[in-house]
Amino acid sequence: MAPPPYATAPERVWHYTFRTLCALIFVFLIGPILVIVPLSFNAEPYFTFTKAMVAFDPEGYSLRWYADFFTSDSWLGAIKNSFIVAIFSTLLATTLGTVAALGMSSRYMPYRVPIMAVLISPMIVPLIISAAGMFFFFSKYQLTQTYTGVVLAHTALGIPFVVITVTATLTGFNHSLTRAAASLGASPVRTFFKVVLPLVTPGVVSGALFAFITSFDEVVVVLFIAGPEQRTVPIQMWSGIREQISPTILAVATLLVMVSIVLLTVLELLRRRSERLRGLTPG
């Protein structure tokens, strides 16, 4: 976008300088991903670009590492565990986080600031501290090295994202709608499902997606809580880097990037839909 015709010379210089800085920051952030994707198609078992790849020789590219991923029992088992843990923890985190956000949005809720601080503390406290605390707490109840323990740990990490997104959605919520529903004889439960939930659904789904991504990518907590049977994809990648370096890790990383792009696209579509429903943008 070009600067307006009435912009002064310093304003034009700042305009292009600012955009150049933004482009450099974007390249810095996205650079590692841009390197991983083409390396995942390397025909040789190396983590570097071969001469054939640099020369764009078709012989230098292969899908062998993707085939290795889809035919490996260890990788497929890790994918299965990741989805099991992520789905159940997302369901729990979304339910609990939505209820908490609805309670925090009420003007009758006492001590809202300290309670909100406690709810979002898993986002602030370093993961190594949270993981150590969960390990000692879950060990007392024999929940370590179990799916239940891993799901509960990931639920605790996902709740803050649901609380923040749903609370942000409820900020512009028109409470006269709930009062109108009550005046027409609707019960609180019917009001919630027929009035409140449809309007906050974009925030709930956004929070659920964030919780899912957080669970799917978690490494530190799983190292403390999970056992060999609960080995997830991030742990499998971590072990692969330490024990047996294979470009299959790059193929898995590329697939995870694709999944993240799809989820972020869904989040953006939900954000725009939420803005249209709230009248912040034209339909």
Alpha carbon 163 to its chain centroid, in Å, reads 14
Top-confidence residue, 161 or 45: 161
Confidence of residue 88 (pLDDT cuts 50, 70, 90): very high
Phi-psi region of 227 (alpha: psi -120 to 50; beta: other; left: phi over 0): beta
Top-confidence residue, 91 or 280: 91
**pLDDT at residue 5 above 60?**
yes
pLDDT at 279: 61
Strand partners, 61: 42
pLDDT at 274: 66
**pLDDT at residue 236 above 90?**
no
Return the SS3 of 250.
helix
Does the reported pTM lie above 0.75? yes
Domains, the chain, in order of start with CATH, read 73-277 (1.10.3720.10)
- Summarize pLDDT for 109-159 with one digit per residue, the tens: 788 888 888 888 888 888 889 899 999 999 888 888 889 999 999 999 999
DSSP H stretches of helix in 60-126: 64-70, 73-105, 112-119, 121-124
Return the SS3 of 237.
helix
Handedness of CA 151, 156, 159, 161 (dihedral sign): negative
Return the SS3 of 180.
helix
pLDDT at 159: 92
- Contact present, 169 and 274 (Cβ < 8 Å): yes
CA–CA gap between residue 22 and residue 118 (Å, rounded): 35
Residue with structure tokens 């449809």? Answer: 198
**pLDDT at residue 22 above 50?**
yes
CA–CA gap between residue 132 and residue 138 (Å, rounded): 10
**pLDDT at residue 248 above 60?**
yes
pLDDT at 281: 58
- Summarize pLDDT for 257-283 with one digit per residue, the tens: 888 888 888 777 877 776 676 665 554
% of the chain surpassing 70 pLDDT: 94
The beta strands (E) that lie in the chain are given as none
Treating both helix axes as pointing N-terminal to C-terminal, what angle do 248-277 and 197-217 enclose, rounded to 10 degrees?
160
